[in-house]
Structure 1
Amino acid sequence: MVCDLFSIRDARQEDKAVLDSYANAEGMDAIPSIEGVRVAVNEDDEVVGFIRVVTSKEGVAFVNPVVTYRTWQGFGVGRALMDEALSRHGELRLVSRGSSRAFYDALGYEPIGWDLIEMSLVDDCDHCTMRDECGPQPMRKGRRP
């Protein structure tokens, strides 16, 4: 995908340190690998956002996570990454946390039950001491099961 400000490509190994720093800035752990990661890059090929999609044993695509570099928020990077992933996979599921709910609502994602979420991808939710504050909400867009 290409737009005037950025394009989307597969992540490369040399992108990993930047991806980890962006995830860390959002309070997340480093991503385990670049497998399933697509990046939005500016005209200088600098990463401005990324999405990691993990496929479950059943073939369901889960977003874990989508991150836009703070100075690029509001320019459609997150939306473009989500739209491109949806077009590639046909359906996306995720767990919205904290203030990200408004973003997913604006993209047309709908709440679903926890039974439709691969718990190995979000097992930290059950044990998190900030669960009430975070307000995790399983969501989906695309095909119906």
Structure 2
Amino acid sequence: MDELITIRPAEADDLATIEAYAALEGMGPIESVESIRVAVNGDGDIVGFIRLVLDAQGVCHVNPVVVYSTWRGYGVGRALVEDALEEYGELRLVSRGSSLAFYRALGFEPVEWGSIHPPIAAECDGCELYDECGPVPVRKRSESTCGETSRKTSD
């Protein structure tokens, strides 16, 4: 994977590409590159991104992971998630039903809705696509954290 992509913090010039990828996935606007990491290919083109949100307890929530369609299947999403997990020690997110197999393969396990940062969980409340989407709250802790909460508590 190291030959295919590099993961780095998003920069202001990346915002238009990030917003375009989010729009392709039917997501609302991404207003800032704060807390976003991007995967770039050897030519420096963005091929995916992950946005990370810390809750009041310092637990990291993913909202969302997006990989450009032609780069799916090359481990970009896995690399973005593993990079975040290494940084924070625990990740929580709401998986679209269609993505659940991906997260399960990475070792994520279902959790109660109350474990998800309320602003993120609220995005599913009343969503007209809720039944079609089939959202499932999940989490994964890094084996190296041995039950600790996230190592990083502020950005």
User: TM-score normalised by the shorter chain: which range applies?
Assistant: over 0.9
Q: Name the counterpart of 1:38.
A: 37
**Structure 1: segments with no counterpart, 5+ residues:** none
**1:144 CA displacement:** 7.2
Shift of 1:30: 1.7
What corresponds to 1:132 in structure 2? 131
Deviates most, 2-11 or 70-79: 2-11
Aligned residue in 2 for 1:94: 93
Moved over 6 A (4+): none
Structure 1 length-normalised TM: 0.95
Query: For 2:9 and 2:37, how far apart are their aligned partners in 1?
Result: 4
Report % sequence identity: 53
Once superposed, what is the RMSD of the aligned Cα atoms?
1.3
Alignment partner of 1:49 is 2:48: yes
Higher RCO (Cα < 8 Å, 6 or more apart) = 2
Residue 124 of structure 1 deviates from its aligned partner by: 2.2
Distance in 2, matches of 1:20 and 1:59, equals 26
TM-score by length of 2: 0.89
- Aligned pair count? 144
Q: Which residue of 1 aligns with 2:108?
A: 109
Counterpart of 1:66 in 2: which secondary structure? strand
In structure 2, give the amino acid aligned to 1:42: N
Report the Cα distance in structure 1 between the residues aligned to 2:7 and 2:109, rounded to whole angstroms.
25
Per-residue CA distance 1:80-104 (angstroms, 9 max, x = gap): 0000000000000000013111110
Map 1:18-97; keep pairs closer than 5 Å: 18-97=17-96
